[in-house]
Amino acid sequence: MSDCCSAPGLLPFEQALANMLAQVSPVTETLTLAIDQALHYVLAQDIASPLNVPPHDNSAMDGYAFALGSFTANKILTLVGRSMAGAPFQGVCQAGECIRIMTGAKMPDCCDSVEMQENVSADGEQITFLQDKSFGCHVRNAGEDIQLGQQVLQLGKKLTAVDIGVLASLGVAEVKVYRKLKVALIATGDELKLPGQTLRVGDIYESNSFVLAAMLQKLHVDVIDFGIIEDDFSAIKSAFISADEQADAVISSGGVSVGDADYTKTVLDELGEIAFWKIAMKPGKPFAFGKLANSLFFGLPGNPVSALVTFHQLALVALTKMQNAQPLKRTHLTVKCSTDLRKSPGRMDFQRGVLAINSQGENIVSSTGAQGSGILSSLAKANCYIILPSEQGKVAAGEMVTVQLFDQFL
């Protein structure tokens, strides 16, 4: 089927993503962790506050607490006690009296306002207030940060450093989280060598597993790296079987565009239900997705830019759902493009751009230059994608385009 947005035989990007997400089941197993072990895990419970934060009205200043109603015309009050952080004033003060108070100390029940110490003159027990005061000044109210029972963090929240601090501030010592995913990585190709090895004529260095493993670390999954598997039927088959046994998801790169030495398709046809898609996106047209016996399978194209972009735009979205995490939020802006962009209608382009602010203070995006799917440096220079819809043709400098800012994974 083809429409205005797709070339014949190509699967529109949004359709590929939706098909994929429809087949993803989130993990259900949970574990309970101490909060200092829970960074980047996905919460498996809602967190409602068990208390008011702060738990009691307290002073925002080092100074003197008093009841505004008992303020005397001469603004002189008598000091009758102290309230320190952790050691509150226990007594009751009368009209004309005040209490020495420190930052964070509980407000005495008999007081409603605080004057900072810089604005009084103290002579023994006689405290002269140098300025007029208003009710409640310099008092932090109970619950002004978080109220008792208030929903603070939601199921599906991937815990950040700040979240860990918030949990501590609520007195929550442990949280229920979803277990980490296990993701297997397989690079296929006889031409691939590891960094540190010597290249023979015709060889190249393997880079896909390195960039994918790094991005998977940021996603907070356990990576099982199968390294480089040669273009050999039985080697590929045993790697896929072993990966499927150990992992929740298996990600391979290379071998999905049907060439002579590409055994991946034959192996996958034997081991699972895998669809070989031609997605209407650039880079990244060939992409395989489906189910092995135990795991989900993502077959990324071999070209480094294609592998990275399809991983970022498709596989990462699916893995996020599998983790039970809230969907990734990506930021799109419409900005002026300062360079011409080559494009023919038929596929959605994820070109690499540099977004900057020009001398007039406008957001402006420029191309990183050559956009070949093997040119990994085009991604290294970029800070955004320039996303051009399928039906769009070339872009002239000065036209408006949509950019998607790079997120924490790139």
Give residues in contact with Mg ion (CB under 5 A): 189, 254-255
CB of 230 to Mg ion, least distance (A): 10
CB of 202 to ligand AMP, least distance (A): 10
**Residue 346's binding partner, choosing from ligand AMP, Mg ion, none, with beta-carbon cut-off 5 to 8 A by kind?**
none
CB of 182 to Mg ion, least distance (A): 25
**Residue 88's binding partner, choosing from ligand AMP, Mg ion, none, with beta-carbon cut-off 5 to 8 A by kind?**
none
How many other C-beta atoms can be found within 10 angstroms of the C-beta atom of residue 143?
A: 17
Using the minimum distance from each CB to ligand AMP, give the nearer residue, 12 or 304. Answer: 304
> Which among 309, 340, 335 is positioned nearest to 409, based on CA atoms?
309
CB of 255 to ligand AMP, least distance (A): 5
Taking CA atoms, 397 is separated from 6, 46, 338, 378, 394, in Å, by 25, 49, 5, 19, 10
CB of 286 to Mg ion, least distance (A): 11
Residue indicated by tokens 């040669």: 230
Using the minimum distance from each CB to ligand AMP, give the nearer residue, 257 or 338. Answer: 257
Burial 336-370 (b: 16+ CB within 10 A, else e): ebbbebebeebbbbbbbbbbeeeeeeeebbbbbee
DSSP secondary structure, 349-373, as one string: EEEEEEEEE-TTS-EEEEE-S---T
Using the minimum distance from each CB to Mg ion, give the nearer residue, 78 or 207. Answer: 207
CB of 372 to ligand AMP, least distance (A): 11
CB of 228 to ligand AMP, least distance (A): 7
Residue closest to ligand AMP (Cβ): 302
CB-based contacts of 232: which residues, under 8 Å, 6+ apart?
A: 263
Give the binding site for ligand AMP (CB under 6 A). 187, 189, 191-192, 204, 206-209, 253-257, 259, 301-304
Residue indicated by tokens 């027990």: 125
**Residue 303's binding partner, choosing from ligand AMP, Mg ion, none, with beta-carbon cut-off 5 to 8 A by kind?**
ligand AMP
**Residue 299's binding partner, choosing from Mg ion, ligand AMP, none, with beta-carbon cut-off 5 to 8 A by kind?**
none
Using the minimum distance from each CB to Mg ion, give the nearer residue, 165 or 374. Answer: 374
**Residue 404's binding partner, choosing from ligand AMP, Mg ion, none, with beta-carbon cut-off 5 to 8 A by kind?**
none
Tokens of 37: 């072990």
**Residue 253's binding partner, choosing from Mg ion, ligand AMP, none, with beta-carbon cut-off 5 to 8 A by kind?**
ligand AMP
Using the minimum distance from each CB to ligand AMP, give the nearer residue, 81 or 255. Answer: 255
Instruction: Give the torsion sign (CA, 89, 90, 95, 96).
Output: negative
Indicate the DSSP class of residue 396: -
Using the minimum distance from each CB to ligand AMP, give the nearer residue, 113 or 253. Answer: 253
Q: Please give the Cα distance from 249 to 296 (Å, whole number).
A: 5
How many other C-beta atoms can be found within 10 angstroms of the C-beta atom of residue 161?
A: 9
Tokens of 210: 């390195």
Using the minimum distance from each CB to Mg ion, give the nearer residue, 63 or 254. Answer: 254
DSSP secondary structure, 150-202, as one string: -EEE-TTPBPPHHHHHHHHHTT--EEEEEPPPEEEEEEE-TTEE-TTSPPPTT
